[in-house]
Amino acid sequence: MNTTPNVMIENAQMRLIIASDGIVSSLVFKPTGTECLVQGRRIPLSTITEPRPYQNEIKLAYQNRRTTFKSNAVRKEGDKLIIGYELIPWEATVSVKITEAYIAFTLEAFNLTEDYGILMTEPPISEMWFLRLPVRDLGHWGDWLNVIWNEEVAVNVLAAGPCANADSEEGDGYRILQAGSDEKVKLTGVTAALITCAKDELLDKIAILEEDYGLPHGVASRRHDLYNASYYWTYSVNPTNVDEHIAYAKMGGFRLMNIYYPAFLESRGYRLIGNYDVYSPEYPNGKADLKAMLTKIKQAGITPGCHFLHSHIGRDSKYVTPVPDHRLNLLRIFTLAKPLGKTDTTIHVEQNPLHSTMATNRKVLKIGTELISYEGYTSTPPYSFHGCERGIDRTTINAQPVGYMFGLLDVSEFGATSVYLDQNSDLQDDVADGIADLWDAGFEFFYFDGSEGVNAPFWYHVSGAQYRVFSKLRPEPIFAEGAAKTHFSWHLLTGANAFDIFRPEKLKEETLRHPFREAPRMRDNFTRLNFGWLGYWLPSAETIGTQPDQLEFVTSKAAAWDCPVAIHADPATLAKHPRTADNFEVFRRWEEVRARKWLSVEQKQSLRNAEQEFILLLNEAADFELLPYDQITRVANGCRDVIAFTFERKGDLYAVYWHISADKALELPCGPKDLTVLESIGGVSQAISAGHGDSAIVPLGKRRYLRTSLAHRDALIAAFRNARVLDQG
As a whole number of angstroms, the distance between CA 562 and CA 230 comes to: 11
User: Does 685 score more than 80 pLDDT?
Assistant: no
Please choose, from the candidates 554, 550, 496, the residue with its C-alpha nearest in 3D space to the C-alpha of residue 528.
Answer: 496
Rounded to an integer, what distance in angstroms lies between the CA atom of residue 299 and that of residue 428? 33
Mean pLDDT for the stretch of residues 97-108: 98
Whole-number CA gyration radius for the chain: 31
Whether the per-residue pLDDT at 93 is higher than 80: the answer is yes
- Residue 692 reports pLDDT greater than 70: no
Q: What pLDDT band is residue 672 in, cutting at 50, 70 and 90?
A: low
The pLDDT score that the predictor gives to residue 687 is 64
Non-local (6+) Cβ contacts of 699 within 8 A are: 663, 665, 666, 677, 686
Encode pLDDT of 175-231 as tens digits: 999 999 999 999 999 999 999 999 999 999 999 999 999 999 999 999 999 999 999
pLDDT confidence of residue 693: 64
pLDDT of residue 119: 76
287 close to 437: Cβ distance less than 8 angstroms = yes
Q: In the predicted model, what is the mean pLDDT of the chain? A: 95
pLDDT in tens, 434-490: 999 999 999 999 999 999 999 999 999 999 999 999 999 999 999 999 999 999 999
What's the rounded Cα separation, in Å, for the pair 53 and 195? Answer: 35
Backbone φ and ψ of 515, nearest 5°: -60, -35
For residues 688-715, give the mean pLDDT: 86
Tell me how far apart the alpha carbons of residues 339 and 397 are, in angstroms, rounded to a whole number.
14
Q: How many CB atoms lie within 10 A of CB 335?
A: 13
CA dihedral 458, 464, 465, 466 (to 10 degrees): 110
646: helix, coil or strand?
Answer: strand
- Asked whether the CA dihedral 594, 595, 599, 604 is positive or negative, the reply is positive
Question: According to the model, what pLDDT value does residue 690 have?
Answer: 65
Quick one: pLDDT at residue 674?
Answer: 75
Q: Say what the pLDDT of residue 691 is.
A: 62
pLDDT tier at 58 (50, 70, 90 boundaries)?
confident
Q: What percent of the chain has pLDDT over 90?
A: 89
Does the structure show a pLDDT above 90 at 555?
Answer: yes
With a cut of 70, say whether residue 729 has pLDDT above it.
Answer: no
Cα 688 to Cα 700: distance, rounded to the nearest angstrom: 11
Give the separation between CA 317 and CA 423, rounded to whole angstroms. Answer: 18
Q: What are phi and psi of 490, to 5 degrees?
A: -55, -35
pLDDT tens sequence across 306-321: 999 999 999 999 999 9
How many Å apart are CA 49 and CA 124, to the nearest integer?
A: 9
Q: What are 91's strand-pairing partners? A: 84, 111
Distance CA 367, CA 326 (A): 10
325 CB neighbour count, 10 Å cutoff: 18
Cα–Cα distance measured from residue 156 to residue 30, given in angstroms and rounded to the nearest whole number: 15
Q: How many CB atoms lie within 10 A of CB 604?
A: 13
Residue 46: pLDDT band by 50, 70, 90 thresholds? very high
Kindly state the average pLDDT of the residues 538-566.
Answer: 97
Quick one: which H or E segment has residue 354? none
Q: Minimum mean pLDDT among 38-47, 49-58, 252-261, 472-481: which range?
A: 49-58
- Digit-coded pLDDT (tens) for 342-367: 999 999 999 999 999 999 999 999 99
- Residue 1: what pLDDT? 52
DSSP state of 281: T
Q: 545 or 121: whose pLDDT is higher?
A: 545
Question: Coil, strand, or helix at residue 301?
Answer: coil
Q: What confidence tier does 532 reach under pLDDT thresholds 50, 70, 90?
A: confident
